[in-house]
Structure 1
């Protein structure tokens, strides 16, 4: 699910105060949950003209448990530029912490557990009205003329913040290789296949570029 900016603002307004900075960081970087939950202060550069975030570790499931390890793939080990919007939230969450601590910690202290964040997330989306109509599977015996209820709604999942981040970059015409690198995709084919629908928004720009190229008299 790709959230519009207005929809994200609604969702954010329903997130508990102790999770707002974390949700903003996910939406504004496109990081996977496993990467953001493992982020240490040492991997942030928050001073200077170009703040940066380095993805060098992530939570991994091992033998029924979890442990810190290298990111998912080789390209997942990456460096992202940060917008000024995120500098203060990151500074706020790094205050008083050691270089190897976690930037974002659970309300009760310690590392965020995916289950704990899932409950915080579902509590937020259950009180909001952002969602997409979802048609249930049509029964095998149904005829084309039968009416099928579409009253159920698909709610955004936390990983949809990464998809939303990509769709916002596409809307602002960020080149696909830049989006691929930011999300840590191994292949640009993954980027194109996953975000084909938002990419359709660029059709008008593509047509305009072709018309300009083929017409020497165009401005």
Structure 2
């Protein structure tokens, strides 16, 4: 179950900032956009890889999530786009100006790539397309994450799904309520959101208590 995975690791805000800086400086094609999107939207990896440009509205700053990418064998040409398991997973989420700017820059870069690769490029409108048009496979995302995490000085087991929990943690710190988080993450069951919320809130409370202890050290 998704809430059980919260007991694993996720990135704190300062760790996320450092990771994204490292990714921007040392990452390969698609790396920065990929992990920034996961962190800033909280969407599932399969939902992100299934995204097409028609589902991104850069004017309204929205992403429409309607499908999930399925490719258990990680073969670039052998994939399926499936409807999500629940109706709640089909949703529209807002994105911020920073992510909009990244998508605009990527769109221009992708158009140039299509021109260079026009003899072999299979244009299927995927946002996260490799250099001949097929969507990036999940294994590639995992491998790139593992490579980049080696440069981050944290003892945590971070997976692509960790960014979903990272996003949830940041939403809570920003003051978002349980219902808002449920809608953004596409949870069909409010109990799933509540369980994750409880885990994350406990983590935030512990950090707050530690900060207070540090601030007031020596006063008593």
Q: TM-score range by the shorter chain?
A: 0.7 to 0.9
From the superposition, tell whether residues 110 and 63 of structure 1 become closer, same or farther in structure 2 (CA, over 3 Å): closer
Q: Which residue of the other structure, out of 92, 114, 117, is the alignment partner of 1:79?
A: 92
Residue by residue over 1:165-200, the C-alpha shift from the partner in whole angstroms, topping out at 9 and shown as x without a partner, is 010000111111010000000011101112312223
Q: Which residue of the other structure, out of 33, 36, 54, is the alignment partner of 1:42?
A: 54
Query: How far apart in 1 are the matches of 2:73 and 2:149?
Result: 31
Q: Which residue of 1 aligns with 2:153?
A: 129
Q: Which residue of 1 aligns with 2:135?
A: 111
Query: How far apart in 1 are the matches of 2:102 and 2:157?
Result: 26
What TM-score results when the alignment is normalised by the length of structure 2?
0.73
**Which has the higher Rg, Structure 1 or Structure 2?**
1
Q: Which residue of the other structure, out of 13, 30, 34, is the alignment partner of 1:22?
A: 34
Q: Which residue of 2 aligns with 1:7?
A: 15
Q: Which residue of 2 aligns with 1:53?
A: 63
Residue 17 of structure 1 and its aligned partner are, at CA, apart by 4.0
Matched residue of 2:192: which SS? helix
Residue by residue over 1:13-55, the C-alpha shift from the partner in whole angstroms, topping out at 9 and shown as x without a partner, is 33214210111011000010001011000001111xx411100
Q: Which residue of 2 aligns with 1:186?
A: 188
> Residues 40 and 99 of structure 1 are in contact (CA less than 8 Å); yes or no, is this contact kept in structure 2?
no
What TM-score results when the alignment is normalised by the length of structure 1?
0.73
Q: Which residue of the other structure, out of 160, 163, 169, is the alignment partner of 1:161?
A: 163
Residue 3 of structure 1 and its aligned partner are, at CA, apart by 1.4
> Residues 61 and 67 of structure 1 are in contact (CA less than 8 Å); yes or no, is this contact kept in structure 2?
yes
More helix by share: 2
- Aligned pair count reads 179
Which ranges of structure 2 fall in alignment gaps of 5 or more residues? 1-8, 115-121, 207-220
Moved more, 175-184 or 8-17: 8-17
1:194-209 aligned within 5 A: 194-200=196-202, 201=204
CA RMSD of aligned residues (A): 2.5
Q: Relative contact order (C-alpha < 8 Å, sep 6+): which is higher? A: 2
Which ranges of structure 1 fall in alignment gaps of 5 or more residues? 132-153, 204-219
Query: How far apart in 1 are the matches of 2:124 and 2:84?
Result: 16
